[in-house]
Structure 1
Amino acid sequence: MDIQAAGKQPDQRSIWYFLGPAFLVSVGYMDPGNWATSIEAGSRYGYDLLWVITLASLVAILMQLLSAKLGIATGRNLAQMIRSEHPGRWGTFLLSSAGLAMVATDLAEFLGVAVALNLLFEIPLVAAIFLTIFDVLLILWLERFGFRWVEMTIFAFVATIGLGYVVELWLVQPEWAEVAKALAVPNDTIMNTTALFIAMGILGATVMPHNLYLHSHQVTTRSSLAGEALQRFYKMMKWDTILALTAAWVVNSAILIMASAAFHEKGLLITDIDEAYHTLGPLLGGAAALTFGIALLASGIASSATGTLAGQIVFESFFKKRPVNILKIRVYIRLATMIPAAVAILLSAKPLSLLVLSQVVLSMQLPFAVIPLVMMTSDPALMGDLVNGYGTKMMAWMASIVIVVLNIWLLGMLFWDGFESMVLH
């Protein structure tokens, strides 16, 4: 839906008109997958992996800026551009890989909703998993009023999560001097096999492939301009992206800080989200546990909705046309991950283990989204005046190389040490 008011050009509007797409995307950076990896990292290693969140967040800001730039310059999203630029088998492989990422994403999102419903209302976990299918109806209903309503609703969820962690940090009272150092200074903890596995989970949970597809699509709900107006449009989207993902960085860091201060410093290793919830009560009081549960529910609902939107974008581009029945498509996307997860839970798999594993799958898929994105945004024929400059190009390729190298390193460790030594129990 076009939300532009009649008679006004977007280049004459204030920044408030442009804010929204990145905040819709940002909820994916504070989803239950982030909770799983950050809780595990904090309870196992204290503040030692905080710098990984900072590094991953910087990479995420860079990649989301490229995603927004692609949508602004071309008027098409990343999935559409992949289909256009790679119409053969390579494009099919890339979009199939994106589909796998959507499955892993959706697994994390709706497991978070199910766990929160189980903790807050004592709904059996398997039943709660099947209840999550109804959140696809939320976005369908909101879309009737335009994407601005979708964005503002997601922003309200983001504000709920942020407020929840302001309360949590006030309750746990962390050592802020140690926190400040750990946020910026790398250490050798990552050389540990399990720490690397968790770090890769943090990377996968922070730089998320589905967000690259979603962001490039959301900017097209504003407008497609030319000349100076196009440059200003991108400048406004920069502010949107930086503000939204800085907020996500603060929340992700807060989750790890809370886990470190509440659990690690007391010698407690938390191996599941429900264990974190039930442990917070005795340690910090019922308010801490309730706040944790409400924030988890907000995180799960919001990120699940945006994950399903991203899945729809990839699905539509894969088949080169818009499906007639969007509700049916979204339900199919959800069922593709819901049923395997329900089976895994029935077989006694722990939600936290499934969440962390899903984030590692996301991390392994990242190169197949990031490399085409960098290549296309560096092509003057596609991007025009918004083509990547030399500095941006160098940073983007360096980030891509780091992602690829870390994935190869992780695969080597999986092969050498065996998967069982790295999966969290």
Structure 2
Amino acid sequence: MTSTERALRPTRPGRVAFGRLLGPAFVAAIAYVDPGNVAANLTAGARYGYLLLWVLVVANAMAVLVQYLSAKLSVVTGSTLPEVLRERLGRRARLAYWGQAELVAAATDLAEVIGGAVALKLLFGTPLLVGGVVVGAVSLGLLALQSRNGVRRFEFAVVALLAVIVVGFVTGVLFAPPDAGAAAAGLVPRFQGAETVLLAASMLGATVMPHAIYLHSAIARDHHGPVAAAERPRVLRATRVDVAAALVVAGLVNISMLLLAASALRGVDGTDTLEGAHAAVVANVGVGVGLLFAIGLLASGLASTSVGAYAGAVIMQGLLRTHVPLVVRRVVTLIPALLCLGLGVDPTRALVVSQVVLSFGIPFAIVPLVRLTGSRALMGADANGRTVSVLAVLAVVAVVTLNVALIVLTITD
């Protein structure tokens, strides 16, 4: 039995305790607190204070809906999103779709390895290239854990890292409390010039990451196993709780980053880079908070790069029915990040470019997801209702529009 087959083994049939139905969304939520999010949120808060706080609230609400639909698709059909798409695409279309999905997964992985390498440099002075190798080695260990023991222990390991991320980034707000009135005003949607539109596009567009959509459908399928029709309402109810709880946690982390930057880093130069933001945190909030920040960034890089590599395997297996061991994939996808670090490419610039590449893949994941989950032929009685369909379409329009804006503004900048 291959490692993937072990990971995809169904759980024991019968009624499972409600608490044991929870977990998959917390793994997918790692994508919402990766180093790219850290850079965008800190930059927004440091430059514009609380102005774009509303963007994070909207982004989180959209993410709840999208991630729930991803998990619902697999619970109802017993297949992942890539597998469902494979059945509906011809060979050429399937190969083209796989190509863009793999490119997006690789771009995501690039940002996450670089973010982890920067964290090691902040903590220990480790050269970036060496840090990238260390991040890759640790992520290999996490993926080996998944291969040997299936999805459950991998979930536990990733959730543990998520807890470290929460402590690392939320603690700072306690030492630099935000202005409650100004924060409340930041919940009112508005912009102040083209630069704020660009930041909002990167914050919102890069939040709904395509690899997280593909991966969540796989983890939910692997976690629950075959779901009998009688049990489906209960599993879907648990899925809603799981997604809401996981993304409330992720949203809390992202909002805490922006609040910390708005209250302590407003107007401070150099906060548009991870290293500059860390230096500003140390100077303005304290060494202890700076240490927690760096630890949170390291946990973010380690967890998100492992999840990204896992997502790439899910995409390949689902679309092409081709199995490549996760460890082999990890080694191959690590090469672009190490090349960037070895050649001295500016880490922050690499993060920005990776987010633009990521933006191209979002419509390819979210549009089919909304169409498939709204199909009664596929989903039966569990197809999206009118209200959910309207909200899903609005989310698609908002995400795609802002990602187009992100691409255009980046190219013409």
Shared topology, TM-score over 0.5? yes
- State the match for 2:337 in structure 1: 338
Judged with a 3 Å threshold, the aligned counterparts in structure 2 of structure 1 residues 356 and 42 are, in CA distance, closer, same or farther, namely: farther
**Aligned residues of 2:158 and 2:303 also touching (Cα < 8 A):** yes
* In structure 2, C-alpha distance between the alignment counterparts of 1:359 and 1:270, rounded to whole Å: 18
* In structure 2, C-alpha distance between the alignment counterparts of 1:279 and 1:267, rounded to whole Å: 7
Where in structure 2 are the equivalents of 1:406-425 lying within 5 Å? 406-414=402-410, 418=412, 421=413
Provide, for residues 33-81 of structure 1, a one-character-per-residue CA deviation record: whole Å limited to 9, x for no partner.
1001111111111111111111111111111011001111111111111
* In structure 1, C-alpha distance between the alignment counterparts of 2:406 and 2:296, rounded to whole Å: 31
* TM-score with structure 2 setting the length: 0.92
Deviation at 1:2, TM superposition (A): 6.9
> What amino acid sits opposite 1:406 in the alignment?
L
* TM-score with structure 1 setting the length: 0.90
The secondary structure found in structure 1 opposite 2:350 is helix
- State the match for 2:19 in structure 1: 16
- State the match for 1:63 in structure 2: 66
Deviation at 1:181, TM superposition (A): 3.0
- What 5-or-longer segments of structure 1 have no aligned partner? none
Judged with a 3 Å threshold, the aligned counterparts in structure 2 of structure 1 residues 111 and 72 are, in CA distance, closer, same or farther, namely: same
Where in structure 2 are the equivalents of 1:25-424 lying within 5 Å? 25-143=28-146, 144-182=148-186, 184-189=187-192, 192-221=193-222, 222-264=224-266, 267-323=268-324, 325-335=325-335, 337-342=336-341, 346-347=344-345, 349=346, 351-414=347-410, 418=412, 421=413
Deviation at 1:108, TM superposition (A): 1.5
Provide, for residues 62-116 of structure 1, a one-character-per-residue CA deviation record: whole Å limited to 9, x for no partner.
1101100111111111111111111333332222221121012101111111001
- What 5-or-longer segments of structure 2 have no aligned partner? 1-6
**Aligned residues of 1:83 and 1:317 also touching (Cα < 8 A):** yes
Farther-moved stretch of structure 1 (16-25 vs 310-319): 310-319
Judged with a 3 Å threshold, the aligned counterparts in structure 2 of structure 1 residues 20 and 3 are, in CA distance, closer, same or farther, namely: farther
**Aligned residues of 2:136 and 2:334 also touching (Cα < 8 A):** yes
Deviation at 1:273, TM superposition (A): 0.7
> What amino acid sits opposite 1:400 in the alignment?
V
* In structure 1, C-alpha distance between the alignment counterparts of 2:410 and 2:113, rounded to whole Å: 27
* In structure 2, C-alpha distance between the alignment counterparts of 1:332 and 1:175, rounded to whole Å: 46
Provide, for residues 378-411 of structure 1, a one-character-per-residue CA deviation record: whole Å limited to 9, x for no partner.
1112112221111111111111122222233344
> What amino acid sits opposite 2:249 in the alignment?
A
Provide, for residues 218-240 of structure 1, a one-character-per-residue CA deviation record: whole Å limited to 9, x for no partner.
01111222323112111111110
* In structure 1, C-alpha distance between the alignment counterparts of 2:340 and 2:194, rounded to whole Å: 26
> What amino acid sits opposite 2:334 in the alignment?
R
Question: Aligned residue pairs: how many?
Answer: 405
**Aligned residues of 2:34 and 2:301 also touching (Cα < 8 A):** yes
Judged with a 3 Å threshold, the aligned counterparts in structure 2 of structure 1 residues 246 and 393 are, in CA distance, closer, same or farther, namely: same
* In structure 2, C-alpha distance between the alignment counterparts of 1:294 and 1:404, rounded to whole Å: 33
